[in-house]
């Protein structure tokens, strides 16, 4: 709205100049300079208002204010195997109980949310977990394996067991399905992997086939018996769970939660393209679209909370 007001102000100035016939030489330059000045001034003011609104929604210690980015440091921002290993370790209790508890609740909420929105239709009579099953597993302690090889079926990114739940998770950042020559499609291999594992468990147990993807449009390539969860949705649920924590942050508490902060720093600043919002950063009118994107993202977190 401010930009439209700026254009209207310039148009009014141009009409005034033309009316007084002082716009014969250099009038176009004058108009453009006036437009640029007003846009910078009014757009900059709107950017500051957006920043203030965003900062009001941030955590007391917030990942969007942090500049230390461990994934960027080692050029791993888009590396699927490293993201898989990182998430697997976040979910493991022996890597840090506090982080694992929060990460597991966020992961389960993201899966349940996707199931409620999209559903998953079983094939061949296999019993698939529902949103209620995933919400009911929030207090379970998950056992997480990463990069699990199964003869004839290839390697699965993650296998998660939590009480009666068994989940096969495939992580997708930039790549699509990796079909091997002479083998069934990757999604079918994972389906067979789950069927083999479920055959060894109680008949009352339930399974999930999950794709964790960066690109929203990849969901169109995910079969109907899979659950498609975006990294964006997982990051938002991490924020929901962090908001529910007491993060007045003593030094020990800060260190306990720091792996989750590092996770969000890279997800939000690298995969989602959000800027660092440290107090020293300055934003102008050119930053309005990305700042609006951050505000929308945080508003969705508030709504989910």
* 241-260: pLDDT as tens digits: 998 886 555 666 778 888 99
Residue 61 has pLDDT above 90, yes or no: no
Q: Which residues pair with 293 in a beta bridge?
A: none
Q: What is the pLDDT of residue 173?
A: 92
What average pLDDT does the structure give for the chain? Answer: 87
Q: What is the pLDDT of residue 6?
A: 62
Comparing 42 with 93, the larger pLDDT belongs to: 93
Q: What is the pLDDT of residue 219?
A: 87
Mean pLDDT of 158-170: 96
> Whole-angstrom Cα distance, residue 18 to residue 87?
63
Q: What is the pLDDT of residue 286?
A: 84
> Whole-angstrom Cα distance, residue 267 to residue 75?
13
Mean pLDDT of 56-69: 89
**10 Å Cβ neighbour count for 93?**
15
Confidence of residue 5 (pLDDT cuts 50, 70, 90): low
Q: For strands 206-213 and 165-172, give the pairing.
A: parallel
Mean pLDDT of 130-152: 92
> Whole-angstrom Cα distance, residue 214 to residue 174?
7
Confidence of residue 278 (pLDDT cuts 50, 70, 90): confident
Comparing 106 with 219, the larger pLDDT belongs to: 106
Q: What is the pLDDT of residue 128?
A: 93
Comparing 212 with 245, the larger pLDDT belongs to: 212
Q: What is the pLDDT of residue 32?
A: 62
Sign of CA dihedral 115, 117, 123, 127: positive
> Whole-angstrom Cα distance, residue 218 to residue 258?
30
> Whole-angstrom Cα distance, residue 189 to residue 179?
9
Mean pLDDT of 45-74: 90
Sign of CA dihedral 91, 94, 95, 99: positive
Residue 214 has pLDDT above 70, yes or no: yes
> Using an 8 Å Cβ cutoff, are 118 and 152 in contact?
no
Q: What is the pLDDT of residue 127?
A: 85
Q: What is the pLDDT of residue 297?
A: 96
> Whole-angstrom Cα distance, residue 96 to residue 103?
11
DSSP secondary structure letter of residue 102: H
> Whole-angstrom Cα distance, residue 46 to residue 106?
33
Where would I find the H helices in 67-160? 70-73, 80-91, 97-118, 131-136
């Amino acid at each position: 709205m401010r930009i439209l007001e700026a254009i209207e102000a310039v148009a009014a100035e141009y009409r005034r100049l033309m009316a007084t016939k002082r716009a014969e030489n250099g009038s176009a330059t004058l108009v453009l300079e006036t437009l640029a000045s007003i846009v910078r001034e009014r757009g900059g003011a709107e950017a500051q208002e957006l920043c203030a609104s965003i900062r009001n929604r941030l955590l007391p210690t917030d990942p969007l204010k942090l500049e230390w980015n461990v994934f960027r440091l080692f050029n791993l921002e888009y590396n699927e195997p490293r993201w898989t290993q990182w998430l697997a370790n976040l979910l493991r209790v022996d890597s840090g109980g506090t982080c694992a508890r929060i990460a597991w609740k966020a992961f389960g909420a993201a899966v349940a949310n996707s199931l409620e929105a999209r559903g998953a239709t079983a094939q061949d009579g296999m019993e698939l977990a529902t949103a209620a099953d995933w919400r009911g597993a929030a207090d379970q302690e998950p056992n997480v394996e990463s990069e699990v090889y199964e003869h004839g079926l290839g390697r699965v990114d993650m296998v998660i067991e939590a009480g009666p739940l068994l989940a096969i998770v495939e992580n997708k950042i930039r790549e699509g399905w990796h079909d091997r020559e002479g083998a069934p499609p990757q999604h079918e291999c994972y389906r067979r992997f789950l069927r083999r594992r479920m055959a060894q468990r109680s008949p009352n147990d339930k399974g999930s086939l999950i794709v964790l993807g960066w690109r929203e449009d990849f969901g169109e390539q995910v079969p109907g018996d899979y659950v498609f969860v975006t990294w964006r949705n997982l990051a938002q649920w991490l924020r929901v769970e962090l908001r529910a924590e007491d993060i007045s942050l003593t030094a020990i508490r800060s260190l306990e939660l720091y792996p989750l902060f590092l996770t969000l720093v890279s997800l939000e600043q690298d995969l989602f393209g959000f800027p660092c919002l440290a107090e020293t950063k300055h934003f102008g009118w050119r930053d309005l679209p990305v700042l609006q994107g951050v505000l929308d993202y945080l508003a969705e977190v508030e709504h989910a909370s």
